[in-house]
């Protein structure tokens, strides 16, 4: 056997410390995959990606069906609401027409009593020395014709009419002396404006 010579190391560094040798870096291990394993790995990855894709498609299809179902339900509700809206508009139009009819009827009822009320006012205001020969109602104005025994009785009649709440103004437009059954009287025409 051969002998190896002994090597003596001398530390030339200060302090007498020994320096450890730096370890050499190991080269990374190379994984060697043979072709058969590579094909199996590719098939497995492809199968996993197909399963993930199928699961994703199933989720999207389920979501689409659910959303389509919700859309159909909302469309049915919308068509019901549209029908109800049309019915509501028809009812509102009928209600408006009824309100207008009520207003007209109220006005007619209110104005139907006016001639009666005016006649009562005329009756209250008319002294015994005054009598009417004609009355005509034209909207809110009454045209009257009549006779008075004297001027004071006619003035009293006009003054009493002006105090009535229903009458806003009284005017005498024509006034003349005439004879009725050989008695001298005053014939007049005038107008009464109703409030």
Q: What is the CATH number of the domain that holds 137?
A: 3.30.1660
Whether pTM > 0.85 for this model: the answer is no
Structure tokens at 76: 């049915």
For residues 12 and 90, the model is more confident at 90
Question: Measured in Å, how far apart are the chain's first and last C-alpha atoms?
Answer: 153
Supply the pLDDT for residue 136: 87
Answer whether residue 22 shows pLDDT above 70: no
**Is residue 146 situated within a structural domain?**
yes
Calculate mean pLDDT across residues 183-193: 91
Residue 74 lies in a domain: no
CB 154 within 8 A of CB 172: yes
Query: How many domains does the structure of the chain reveal?
Result: 1
133/130 Cα distance (integer angstroms):
10
Q: Is residue 138 part of a domain?
A: yes
Judged against a pLDDT cut of 70, whether residue 27 lies above it is answered with: no
- Whose tokens are 């027409």? That residue is 97
15 pLDDT above the threshold of 60:
no
Within-domain flag for 100:
no
The CA–CA distances, whole Å, from 23 to 10, 11, 20, 169 equal 20, 18, 9, 131
Closest CA relative to residue 151, chosen from 122, 120, 117, 177: 177
Q: Which domain holds residue 148?
A: 126-194
């Amino acid at each position: 056997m051969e002998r190896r010579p002994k090597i003596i190391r001398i530390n030339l560094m200060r302090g007498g410390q020994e320096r450890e040798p730096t370890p050499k870096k190991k080269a990374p291990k190379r994984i060697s995959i043979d072709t058969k394993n590579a094909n199996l790995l590719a098939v497995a990855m492809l199968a996993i990606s197909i399963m993930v894709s199928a699961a994703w498609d199933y989720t999207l299809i389920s979501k689409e069906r659910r959303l389509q179902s919700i859309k159909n339900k909302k469309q049915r509700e919308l068509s019901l609401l549209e029908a109800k809206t049309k019915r509501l508009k028809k009812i509102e139009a009928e209600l408006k027409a009824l309100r207008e009819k009520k207003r007209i009827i109220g006005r007619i009822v209110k104005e139907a009593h006016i001639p009666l009320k005016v006649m009562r006012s005329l009756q209250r205001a008319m002294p015994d020395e005054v009598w009417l020969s004609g009355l005509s109602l034209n909207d809110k104005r009454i045209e009257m014709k009549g006779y008075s025994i004297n001027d004071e009785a006619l003035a009293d009649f006009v003054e009493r009419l002006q105090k009535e709440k229903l009458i806003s103004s009284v005017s005498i437009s024509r006034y003349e002396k005439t004879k009725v059954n050989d008695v001298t009287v005053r014939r007049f025409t005038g107008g009464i404006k109703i409030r």
